[in-house]
Structure 1
């Protein structure tokens, strides 16, 4: 289930699409204080000081009562008392246009109301900068006549439409207003836009907005997201096998932090990372030292850069720029890159995998065959991409049962190149991984998949595959590096069921 909260207007919460009753005003105030400090531990004294301006001794008992009731109403929030304090991590959304923290009173909430209102105003102006809609900009300037940035954007937009006289009039209007109200002249941005309109050389700087859409059915990864949010604006690396959802997680993190990076978001999917970064900011044919040119373009700015499927640390050499954050995805952990916070992901937890399955397939069908549903998820090692494909396949076959799907999975995986497209889609991540292996690595995996046990040590692997122990250890470590086997302790490894399902059938095909 998905739990989300809003502080824009009354404090509200939803479980999936159903709104949750959050109780009386003071209970909502306790929850709001925790959410305003998302991920930060608050002591009892800090919470009491936020919720009550003049607390009495009974505030301690009241706080315990309210946190107990919040736990009962929102068990997924995992609100626990530890070392005399509380911490929550939650998804916040801006879903309405009401006054922030509506109905909550006190000095702390008044200050937060101002902060949230300013946050919303900046978010609105970021949207206006992207869209440059003249009518919306005119409405905004009329509402906030002394804010110079939206007025400069409106001058840009009018100039772009050939309405230079109106753009210049906006500047003179601002000068008159600021002189009368504040005794000031317009700031440097407005003066620069005015001068460039007079010279006829006003051009908009390119602001890249390349993040792909967030997935509506995104599920889990709370610990990894929290770790990434703490590490940014540094560099975060996400590593895991094909199909584990690295790109989807990078996209989710990008959307959560995009407002921290007002100069734009850039997504790179080619080996020429420096060249793609430069093209994103308007340098169409970069030559020479591209890394140095990128650092010059990024100086003093805050970009969010997502580099997907990094193969080689050299692709990122000398690209770091203060203020700019990077999120990397890579099958291999690139330990030679300094200063990277690495997140290793595999399958979802069993409960998260079940939650995702219910999002893509009618929950009633799953509940009717719960044991079979658990077996389906287990066979794909709870990886999100195969779960989405299988859920979509069953949704398109309303008369099929989960038992039928299991039987087909057993049959189709031995068909080789003749397997149907939907089965091929389930196995696509592991097929991609297979294509990048050497024949020696494939041989070890096929031998491993033939065993009854899913755990093996180096000596057993050498005996099984006919290789020398020293060479087999190198091969096993190389397979662990790309997450096709899981290292347990030194010299021992586990084979995930999803990998066994694929390479076990390759064993059948090559020996038949």
Structure 2
């Protein structure tokens, strides 16, 4: 690459190569660049770019237009190596850079937060002044569209909050005149915003202007009544009361040994609402909300999986859904079969977008914890002694403390919507990722992604990390056959890859012959089979007897794909009842739709179900692995018009052959 590239979005969208500004082209081309910059290195699919630029008014050839704009941007940004700046990733595009004014702005906000927590108000003020000095006008100026308007609003809120926090730091440092000037600018822009009025009252009072401070309250009281029919919020009313009472705590910025911040320190990037935390020096001891212990920003995401492969398009879709809203909380859900990689993808995306959530990332395993709300509250700094007794109070406190904070919350292994709803944070900053084995249909406004197996090339890439590239390239045809038989299931590939890696003398062809599910009577059950089947065993425990019987029995048909008619005949059920039963197995991801009135098993599930079919077909030999040459379960030959096997007195088909 040539000279260093720098980018600007806190003002008109601009770029420089060294000291020379780059001509970025027409507005829509600049808009493409702006979206890629705001994605913070996360790939953006063409559909995502089209939606961001045109919304519902996309032209017919929008995909081609996007590709053309990206090609032009590549040429102007790095003529010598056009693909070096904007990368093609999983069918989309990604621009990874640290030389962006927004990244530096957020870094300085983080520095200010740390200084405030350490009680160093002057250092916090210096960092905030430097951050605000990066602004060059309205953000994304010249870029149109709903996406740009949303981001413009979000960035403006960050700027206003930073000015308010700068004023608070100046007040704590004794620079009351500077604070008054800063707050006057915010009030001129946002006359109904309450926090700057509260801080202005404090700055005027400390400057010896008690009457002017009370006049500020009277002015906002009149405005709120006239414009919205509202009365000032509790923080403003409390400030008025303390000024009228000449509260000694308002006289000077005394720094206590432990900062009396109600609940949890409010970050500079937060949009503070009336029920959240007021400025510490202004309203010390004014709230009965449990006091949190200031500490590090939570970083609870598990480590990324070293062998993570593929999922670029899926990751981009999840990341694209995590755009905070002023009034709602974006929720992205990942549904799929047990062990298909839902948690791995959620964690991978979480690390990729962590820079968007500087106030922290929280992770809760809902399948393992008995009190997820308590875990979340501890994660944002509430000590055990500060946890409310009732569940509803905990949920309310959780929403209060998270409102306006740039937090990412990952809720892993969700059971149902009733479990998730109380765990959703407050609006105006947080975003949520949920993983679940089944889609939570009654969780409104969630964006769901169904996760299946890896694509063949991605499966090969994962297998290569386990057995080595040389070994894979020597037997590429056998390797492709192996990954096809795994259905792209990551945990199957990991188990088999580990097994093959432990036998360097085996060829892949020999490994496919050797590795397979043994008979139930076998004295040894290989560890790789146990690793493959354990997640599926846990799924069977959640099925009804009718679902379990259908899942096992249909696996004894001659092929893994079958029709609704054949299934109804095999199960000896009416078509409507059979369809309802099969659709319930689709919801559990144990079957896949194969077309109109057709269904199919994924290869590992077919093997697993056939291996357990002896529970319904007493005496049948279990199936081999899809990579093995062992004996087959005697098939339940049932075509659309065929005859069913004779039934036993228990109502189950008798075996069609010897066990």
TM-score using structure 2 length: 0.55
Checking the alignment, whether the CA contact within 8 Å between 1:268 and 1:306 is kept in structure 2 is yes
Query: Contact conserved, 1:268 with 1:308, CA < 8 A, in 2?
Result: yes
Q: Does the 8 Å contact 2:78/2:85 carry over to 1?
A: no
Match of 1:300, SS state, is: coil
SS in 2 for 1:326: strand
Q: CA deviation at 1:331?
A: 0.6
Change (3 A) 1:329 1:60: closer
Of 376, 379, 384 in structure 2, the residue corresponding to residue 280 of structure 1 is 379
More helix by share: 1
Which of 428, 436, 446 matches 1:330?
436
Q: Indicate the residue corresponding to 1:205 in structure 2.
A: 294
d(CA) in 2 for partners of 1:432 and 1:417? 23
Secondary structure at 1:488 match in 2? strand
Q: CA deviation at 1:310?
A: 0.8
Contact 2:111/2:127 (CA < 8 Å) preserved in 1? no
Q: Which residue of 1 aligns with 2:408?
A: 304
Taking the aligned partners of 1:453 and 1:45, their CA distance within structure 2 comes to 45
Q: Is contact 1:242–1:331 with CA below 8 Å preserved after alignment? A: yes
Q: Summarize the Cα distance change of 1:242–1:220 in structure 2 as closer, same or farther, 3 Å threshold.
A: same
* Among candidates 262, 265, 282, match of residue 358 of structure 2: 262
CA RMSD of aligned residues (A): 4.8
SS at match of 2:440: coil
Matched, 1:89 2:93: yes
Q: Which residue of 1 aligns with 2:304?
A: 214
Partner of 1:369: 475
- Once residues 223 and 319 of structure 1 are traced to their aligned partners in structure 2, the CA distance between those partners, rounded to angstroms, is 28
Which runs of structure 2 are paired with 1:123-202 in the superposition (5 Å)? 146-147=126-127, 175=173, 195-197=254-256
Q: Structure 2: where are the runs of 5+ without partners?
A: 7-19, 54-61, 131-168, 184-195, 203-248, 262-291, 325-329, 621-658
Residue 325 of structure 1: how far off its partner (Å): 1.2
Q: Distance in 1 between matches of 2:468 and 2:519?
A: 25
Give 2:598's match in structure 1, choosing from 492, 501, 504: 492
CA shift in 2, pair 1:299/1:479, >3 Å: same
Counterpart for residue 97 of structure 1: none
Q: 1:78 to 1:64 in 2, by over 3 A?
A: farther
With 346-355 and 375-384 compared, the bigger mean Cα shift is at 375-384
Counterparts of 1:8-23 in structure 2, within 5 Å, are none
Deviations 1:139-193 (A, max 9, x none): xx99x9822699xxxxxxxxxxxxxxxxxxxx99x959x799999899989x999
**1:445 is aligned to 2:548:** no
Q: 1:147 is paired with a residue of what secondary structure?
A: helix
- Partners of 1:226 and 1:467 in 2: how far apart? 43
Closer/same/farther in 2, CA of residues 121 and 293 from structure 1, 3 Å limit: closer
Flag the structure with larger Rg.
Answer: 2
8 A Cα contact 1:231 1:341, kept in partner: yes
Question: 3-state DSSP class of the match of 1:308?
Answer: strand
Unaligned 5+ runs, structure 1: 1-5, 12-24, 52-58, 80-87, 95-99, 101-112, 151-170
Distance 2:456 2:476 in 1: 13
Shift of 1:376: 2.0
Indicate the residue corresponding to 2:564 in structure 1: 458
8 A contact 2:112–2:127 mirrored in 1: no
* Separation in structure 1 between the aligned mates of residue 404 and residue 95 of structure 2, nearest angstrom: 30
**Structure-1 separation of matches of 2:482 and 2:411:** 32
1: CA distance, partners of 2:363 / 2:110: 21
Q: Offset of 1:381 from its aligned partner? A: 0.8
Q: Taking structure 1 as reference, are residues 273 and 489 closer, same or farther at Cα in structure 2, changes over 3 Å only? A: farther
